[in-house]
């Protein structure tokens, strides 16, 4: 899932200026907990940029990936879709509201959910 795409869509986590690190951390805690409640053992969030030196380590079952300085989270997500996750596309969700990622992910066979649809599903479960 595209971390900032979801973070900015959900008022509860949206940084609204200032340092986004505390909001990222709060979202990651929520996401890890929600994944465990859903019985999901492999949940990946991709953030734009590079990890800050003081970032907390990921919480299981969450895998946190930073796209790096020279690429976007969108391109990293699609790289993951075409790479290691390609063989399990039919049972893997790609969570983003970015149509530039949604279309190719669907074409690759992934189930695509917008940020709010995903949040509503996992918030009520």
pLDDT for the residue numbered 81 = 97
Q: Considering the chain, what is the average pLDDT of its residues?
A: 92
Contact 65, 47 (CB under 8 A): yes
Distance of alpha carbon 83 from the chain centroid: 17
Contact 6, 95 (CB under 8 A): yes
Q: Decide which of 57 and 113 is more confident.
A: 113
123 by Cβ neighbours in 10 Å (0-12 / 13-18 / 19+) ranks as: exposed
Q: Which domains does the chain have, with CATH numbers?
A: 3-124 (3.40.50)
**pTM recorded for the entire structure:** 0.90
Per residue in 75-85, pLDDT (tens digit) is 999 999 999 99
3-state SS assignment for residue 44: strand
CA–CA dist 67, 52 (Å, integer): 13
Look at 19-23, 91-95, 117-121 and tell me which has the smallest mean pLDDT.
Answer: 19-23
Maximum C-alpha span of the chain: 40
Tokens describing residue 13? 């986590």
3-state SS assignment for residue 81: helix
Average pLDDT of span 66-76: 94
Contact 25, 52 (CB under 8 A): no
């Amino acid at each position: 899932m595209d971390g900032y795409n979801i973070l900015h869509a959900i008022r509860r986590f949206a940084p609204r200026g200032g340092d986004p690190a505390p909001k990222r951390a709060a979202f990651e805690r929520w996401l890890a907990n929600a994944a465990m409640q859903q019985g999901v053992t492999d949940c990946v969030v991709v953030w734009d940029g590079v990890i800050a030196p003081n970032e907390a380590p990921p919480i299981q079952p969450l895998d946190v990936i930073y796209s790096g300085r020279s690429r976007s989270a969108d391109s990293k997500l699609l790289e993951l879709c075409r790479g290691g996750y390609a063989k399990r596309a039919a049972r893997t969700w790609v969570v983003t509201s970015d149509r530039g990622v949604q279309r190719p992910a669907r074409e690759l066979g992934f189930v695509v959910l917008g940020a709010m649809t995903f949040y509503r599903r996992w918030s009520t479960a």
